[in-house]
Chain A
Amino acid sequence: MQPVFAPRTSRARVSHRLARVLALVLVPLTLVLAFAWAPMATIGLVGGEAQDDFPQKIFYLHVPIAFAAYLCFAAGAWNGMLYLLKGREDYDVRSYAGVHSGLVFGTLVLLTGAIWAKAAWGVWWNWGDRQLLVFLTLYLFYGAYFVLRFSIEPGRAREKASAVYAVVGVALVPLSFLAIRIADTLIHPIVLTSDGDRLTGPMWGTFLVGVAGFFALAIVMLQLEVAGKLRASRGWVTDDEAPDTLAAVDAATETPSEAVAGA
C-alpha cells in the first residue's frame, strides 16, 4: 500500500503537537481572561455616568475567530499557489481544507457578529458598514468555491480551477481588514489603531491570547481536515481498524519510517 504522502519530519510533528497543546490551553484561557481579568468596557453616558458594556466581551471571541478565518483562507490560497507551481495533488487537498475550514470560522464570525450587533446597535446587520459587506463578499466568494469545485469532474481541471479560485479570493482578506479604515461610516468599532489604543492592557492581553489560541485551533483543525480529506481522496477508508483516540493516532505516527517501509 502506498503512503498518502511522505512522512512528516520530527520538527513538523512537534509543531503539530505544539498547536494542539496551545489550542487546548489558550482557548479556554481566553474565556477565563475575558470574564475574570479584562475590565468591563463602557459606552456612552447614562445620567452622567458611563454604562457597562457587557456584550463587548464578544469581542474576545469574534475578532480572534475572524483572524482564524483569514488564516485558513490564506492557507487555502497559499496551497492553491503551490499546487499551480508544483502540481501535486496533496496541495489541492490542503487548499480545499483551508477554504473549508475558513468557511466554518467565517460562519461563526457572521453569527457572533450579528449577535453582538443586535446587542450594540439594535440590529442584526448593518448594510451601511463596509467591513461587514467586504467580509460577507469574502464569505460568499469562498462559498461559491464549492459550487465551482463540485461542478467539475474530479481531476486536473477541477484541481486547477479550484486553485486559481482560492488564490484570487485571498485578495479580499486584506481588503476586509482595511475596509473598516477606509469606510465612510464608522459604526464598526476600530480598536487596532496606531494612534492610541482603545483597549487597556488587560484587554490587549486577553485579545492577544485569544488570537494565539484561535490561530492554534485553526492549525489543528486544518491538519485534521487535511488528514481526513487526503485519506478520503485516496479511498483509504478502513472502518475495521479505527484507532479509538488521537493518542492512538499519535502512537501510530511515532515511527513513520516503518509506515513507509511497509508501503
Chain B
Amino acid sequence: MPEGWESVVAAYGISAITLGAWFWIILRKLQRQGADAEGVTRG
C-alpha cells in the first residue's frame, strides 16, 4: 500500500458515512412527513 493510505481511507470514509447518514436522515424525515422532495404538496 502507498504511504499515507490510512489518511485517504479515513478522509473518504468519514465523508461517505457523514453524507450517507445525512441523506438517510432527511429521507426518513420526508417519508414520515409524506412530503415530496421538491416541496410540492399532495394537497
Contact = CB atoms under 8 A, between A and B. Distances in A.
Interface of A: 1, 3-5, 7-8, 12-13, 16, 31, 40, 52-55, 57-58, 61-62, 65, 104, 107-108, 111-112, 115-116, 118-119, 217, 221, 223-228, 230-232, 236-239, 241-244, 246, 249-250, 252-253, 256, 258-263
Interface residues of B, number: 32
A13 B37 CA distance: 10
A7 B36 CA distance: 11
Contact of A237 (B11, B14, B32, B43): B32
A242 B31 contact: yes
Nearest to B35: A231
Given A54-B2, A104-B22, A263-B41, A228 B11 contact: no
A96 to B, nearest CB: 14
Contacts, number: 146
Interface string B26-43: 110111111111111111
A8 B11 contact: no
Contacts of B5: 54
